[in-house]
Amino acid sequence: MQAYQREFLGFAAAIGALRFGEFTLKSGRRSPYFFNAGLFDTGARLARLAAAYAARIGASADAFDVLYGPAYKGIPLAAATSIALARETGRDVPYAFNRKEAKDHGEGGVIVGHPLAGRVLIIDDVITAGTSVRESIEVIRAAGAQPMGVVIALDRQERGAGERSAVAEVQDLFGIPVFSIVSLDDLIEFLEISESDSALRDAVRTYRSRYGV
């Protein structure tokens, strides 16, 4: 685990964005942990999240030309990550996001910000059913640009309706990589090195063995 990943998990837990207990997910599964990126809801918190996105992009993502944040959650993520990249790396990366409905006055259209052109990197919080990614790719391709990858905050590394995870399905279906700041494997390692309660570690490992890919 990289230092920025360990720091990210520690900060997420400190502010309650990463919680432990017993949570019923949309799938009906009972999970021993829950991640809510919506709780990065202040300037300082969002800056820490964006710095983690920037670090992950710098570590793994291939060359790209534009950041794209799908409405609505992806909008502040793309904007803040663009700021973090400029601050941390000196690279002035343009960003864009979409409107849910096309504007028929003023500049019009569905895209706000930099024009979608060249290689586009999608910034989102998580991937569940892959619907947001699919819609983003349609928007990007309609603009004549090329989707080249997706960056998310957390990869739960668990099966969807079938044997594969939502992340694996997106990668296979669209032929683009998905990068995450942290994964369930990273979370388990974090719990081990942070000397957390053994019952919690066992619960997360059990969940991984039951639902993991």
Token digits for 93? Answer: 């990366």
Tally of CA atoms within 13 A in the half-sphere of 142 that contains its CB: 10
Interval 69-127: pLDDT, tens:
998 899 999 999 999 999 988 889 999 999 876 555 445 478 898 999 999 999 999 88
- pLDDT, position 31: 94
Q: What is the pLDDT of residue 105?
A: 45
pLDDT tens-digit series, residues 158-181: 887 678 888 888 899 899 999 999
Residue 29 is predicted with a pLDDT of: 87
Domain spans of the chain?
3-211
Catalytic center residues? 103, 105
Tokens of 77: 């993520």
Question: Mean pLDDT for the chain?
Answer: 90
Report the alpha-carbon distance of residue 154 to residue 169 in Å, rounded: 16
CATH topology (fold) of 3-211? Rossmann fold (3.40.50)
CA count, 13 A, side-chain hemisphere, 14: 9
Q: Higher confidence at residue 59 or residue 27?
A: 27
pLDDT of residue 101: 66
pLDDT given at position 63: 84
Give the residue among 120, 99, 118, 124 at the shortest CA–CA distance from 110: 99
158 Cβ neighbours under 8 A, 6+ residues apart: 165, 184, 207, 208, 211, 212, 213
Burial class (CB in 10 A: 0-12, 13-18, 19+), 175: exposed
